[in-house]
Homo-oligomer: A and B are copies of this chain.
Amino acid sequence: MSDKKYNVAVLGATGVVGKELFNVLEERHFPIESLLPLASSRTAGSEVVFKGKPLKVELAGKDSFKGVDIALFSAGASISKEFAPYAVKAGAVVIDNTSHFRMDPEVPLVVPEVNAHAIKRHKGIIANPNCSTAQMVVALKPIHDAYRIKRIVVSTYQAVSGWGKEAVDELEQQVKAWVSGKPIETKILPKQIAFNAVPQIDSFVESGYTKEELKMINETKKIMEDESIAVTATTVRVPVFIGHSEAVNLELEKPCSAKEVRSLLSKAPGVKVMDDPENKVYPTVLDCVGIDDTLVGRIRKDPSVESGLDLWIVSDNLRKGAATNAVQIAEELIKQGLL
């Protein structure tokens, strides 16, 4: 990389992902010339912290993106729809963390460890995948390349932070109410989340799947660039603050042993294998918070089908599932000379 530095804007600066974006930009020493935190009128005027210094959050408007090189969007799909065209027109590259552009055939959907090459064909907007999809494809791509994945059956255990700050507050309030014997109130999430497991993330579509499940099904195929992979998903919210866990069952074309997969994944970029069950080594969300790697354990042959494999995939949904992947895309733009 050259010594060039970039003007970066963050739209949705005060949300859970926005805050994590500042952490990740700092930790990864992203070459920043200027940093512009943007938000809606609800939180504009407040302050965020970057490299220990307070930055005032500006109100996002159509003229906010003048001189911006990279605009990281994480303020909801409707905000992306409204503001992305202004940012692109102003000459910025938008890296969008919402669902709005992900399945647009004109927009690359990128997880750098999987399909960094797709960034090249961007026309101003690059989509960041859904959190539960990003961590899964990082772990599955090396397996797909070596053994070809025919079918994926995934069940998720997803943290409340995936639904934003208000959902985090709701779990905290519910737990505190329970401890102090007060009634538990549910306002943001579809059902009480404290001491529960709720099989609804996002809204339902006619087939009976949720939009979150369809994201996992459709985005996996787009990022892996293979429409022949069959996917079904059940996405479930659990009372966890940060970190998504996934029980993933694979049907492969070629047979493999757990040992081979362990060895393969231990060399894979962005993956850390934690898999020694005899010594109680397997990942949980307590291991993943604040790190960029996707953790994989419980790798075992599934004898219920020819060439079956079970695994357990855990990652910080605010990092690899959102902020880290977005910054990695920005790094790739620089690396590929596209900025």
Contacts and interface: CB of A to CB of B under 8 A. Distances in A.
A30 to B, nearest CB: 30
Interface in A264-317: 277-278, 280, 282, 284-286, 297-305, 308, 310, 312
Contact of A299 (B176, B208, B297): B208
Interface residues of A, number: 56
A195 B176 CA distance: 13
A87 interface: no
Contacts of A192: 284, 286
Contact of A197 (B210, B258, B277, B284): B284
A155 B282 CA distance: 16
A178 B241 CA distance: 12
Interface of A: 151-153, 155, 157, 175-176, 178-179, 190-192, 195-200, 204, 207-210, 217, 230-232, 234, 236, 238-241, 245, 247, 249, 258, 277-278, 280, 282, 284-286, 297-305, 308, 310, 312
Would you call the interface of chain A mostly helix, strand, loop, or mixed?
mixed
Contacts of A207: 300-301
A285 B204 contact: no
Nearest to A298: B199
A190 B280 CA distance: 8
Most chain B CB neighbours (cut-off 10 Å) among A191, A247, A285, A298: A247
